[in-house]
Amino acid sequence: MSFNVKSRLADAVVDSVLAKPSGSRHGITGFWLASLDRVRHERILRIGTLHGRHFMLAAEIDPMATHVMDRKRFDEYVEHEMLKHSKDKDSYSIEAARAHVQECVEKGRIVVAFRNARAFTEAFKSNGRNSVWYEEDQ
């Protein structure tokens, strides 16, 4: 089963990860409400249906780094939030990022971490309902 994330903010994360050398392509998708135990057992993460480039990134989920958001890592989360918005046409303030991260921490959201990212160009299926969805591996 694959864990798929589609977001207009994925483009900046994908570019940042693919700019790293192969073998060093680790990162986080962002903050998603999910079952931590379920996500930890997923094999493949695919990010993004953007500008006609379908699922540009595929990676193994990193169960050691996937976690419920921790207040001690607040600055790290804010930095990632700013990265996600780095391609926005309108500026995204640090105050807005901090407020969003604070809300995520309070709600106990999950950080899904990945490793061994690579470009993904194969065909895909979407159920068209959710921005986060699952499909059976083929």
Token pair listed for 45: 């993460």
Confidence of residue 94 (pLDDT cuts 50, 70, 90): very high
Confidence of residue 138 (pLDDT cuts 50, 70, 90): very low
Task: Please write the tens of the pLDDT for every residue from 49-86.
Answer: 666 555 668 888 898 999 999 999 999 999 999 999 99
Question: Any residues with CB less than 8 A from the CB of 60 and at least 6 apart, and which?
Answer: 43, 44, 45, 114, 115, 116
How would you class 58 by CB atoms within 10 Å of its CB: exposed for 0-12, middle for 13-18, buried for 19 or more?
Answer: buried
Task: Compare 4 and 88 and report the one with higher pLDDT.
Answer: 88
Kindly state the helix (H) or strand (E) to which residue 87 belongs, with its residue range: none
pTM of the model: 0.81
Predicted confidence at residue 131, as pLDDT, reads 56
Distance CA 93, CA 33 (A): 24
Cβ atoms of 61 and 43 closer than 8 Å: yes
Kindly compute the dihedral angle of the four CA atoms of residues 117, 23, 104, 41, in this order, to the nearest 10 degrees.
70
Cβ atoms of 29 and 45 closer than 8 Å: yes
